[in-house]
Amino acid sequence: MIIRVEIADFDVGRVLIDTGSSVNMIFVDVFGELGINDNHVNRQLMPLLSFCGDLVQLVGSVSLPIAFGVASRKTMIYNQFLIVDCLTAYNVIIG
């Protein structure tokens, strides 16, 4: 399922809800557009493998507020996201 969400007060489209994924990922270009200070990024990196077994290049991880729904029924939570540097058709993957 592909949806739009609000992350750190920015409207983000092309968000893939992937129930088969065990992590949340935000791609490095999108993260840069959020304007969040790099001091909030945890640089302790762990290896991440794609579904086909390829090693994925991680920049770090960060906790971000994410809101689902419209103003009258909006739900906001904080999620941990891996910041990933690779090409994809999506801006964010929520697992």
Report the CATH number that the domain containing residue 23 is assigned in CATH. 2.40.70.10
Sequence-separated (6 or more) residues with CB below 8 Å from residue 30: 12, 91, 92
AA letter at 64 = L
If one counts the domains in the chain, the total is: 1
Find the domain containing 63 and state its range. Answer: 2-94
Which DSSP letter does residue 38 get?
Answer: G
Higher pLDDT, 48 or 74: 74
pLDDT of residue 35: 94
Q: Which whole number is the average pLDDT over 48-63?
A: 85
Residue 86's φ and ψ, nearest 5 degrees, are: -160, 165
pTM, to two decimals: 0.88
Under the banding of pLDDT at 50, 70 and 90, the label for residue 57 is confident
What is the rounded CA–CA span in Å between residue 35 and residue 38? 9
Q: Which whole number is the average pLDDT over 64-70?
A: 93
What is the rounded CA–CA span in Å between residue 49 and residue 36? 26
Name beta bridge partners: 94.
Answer: 17
